[in-house]
Structure 1
């Protein structure tokens, strides 16, 4: 079971009953929550948590999600969600890729790409990334 790209940041996801919709599988909106959780945990690992964002008056805000749902997840499934930073202009924009797979058989359930823009928290307007973002995110960049 290999990943699409080398050296992923990975979180484990357990599909709970609250994740299941009327069709009997994980609701598509829940996948977006998982993507957000994975991106945040990766940022935290890189030293850029919510406290740092507030201190710097900057944040990386989602401007676009592209999601390919490839197979369904069901209650009780144990999943692995990986992320990589794959594009970064070192000014305003950054792109992450994601891959979600079922742990026991390696079936890929989802591939996604999310584009973020750096904003000033106090105004909500686009603002250049501070040096701390450049230093924190740079080691995680994977050229894909």
Structure 2
């Protein structure tokens, strides 16, 4: 992992999260990838009001997801995320899913998040204050 801030949370797989094979549905993985990225950002004090007041939208430009092993109802899954790098207007955020009971890796993803100026309707430079929070080495 990089020197960036790591954020984790645990989630328990519920019946409504599963597909016809009784595995955690791939669509739920994608939703949880988005959820934990937002939670990590919010945990550092960046509220929805902050984003709205500054005309900020973060959107996904690209997901890469490796599904490694299935999760089942009742499994507690630890989601861990960190920012691995970026460009002027993007962050590359990693997420790992690990089953808590046996530490089995279930999924790994890399998502490119774009910092977007909603007022100008175009990507914008990520402010140095935000970069300093999530990528202290930069």
TM-score under structure 2 normalisation?
Answer: 0.89
How far the C-alpha of 1:121 sits from its partner, in A, is: 2.3
Residues 16 and 137 (structure 1), Cα distance of their counterparts in 2 relative to 1, 3 Å cut: farther
Post-superposition shift, 1:111? 0.6
Give the distance between the partners of 2:95 and 2:43, measured in 1 at CA: 16
Structure 1 residue 88: deviation in Å? 2.2
Residue ranges of structure 1 left out of the alignment (5+ in a row)? none
After superposition, residues 22-41 of structure 1 pair within 5 angstroms as 22-41=20-39
Structure 1 partner of 2:104: 107
Residue 138 of structure 1 pairs with residue 115 of structure 2 = no
Q: Distance in 1 between matches of 2:120 and 2:19?
A: 37
| Distance (Å, rounded) in 1 between the aligned partners of 2:101 and 2:26 | 21
5 Å-filtered alignment, 1:63-142, equals 63-89=61-87, 91-122=88-119, 124-129=121-126, 131=127, 134-141=128-135
Looking at structure 2, the residues matched to 39 and 33 of structure 1 have their Cα atoms a distance apart, in angstroms, of: 10
Check the 8 A contact 2:93/2:110 in 1, yes or no. yes
Q: How many pairs are equivalent?
A: 136
**TM-score with structure 1 setting the length:** 0.85
Q: Is the 8 A contact 1:95 1:116 kept in 2?
A: yes
8 Å CA contact 1:47–1:136 kept in 2: the answer is no
Q: Tell me whether 5-14 or 21-30 shows the greater mean CA deviation.
A: 5-14
**Structure 1 residue 110: Cα displacement:** 0.5
SS of 2:16's partner is helix
Q: Which runs of 5+ in 2 are unaligned?
A: none
Shift of 1:142: 7.1
CA-based RMSD: 1.9
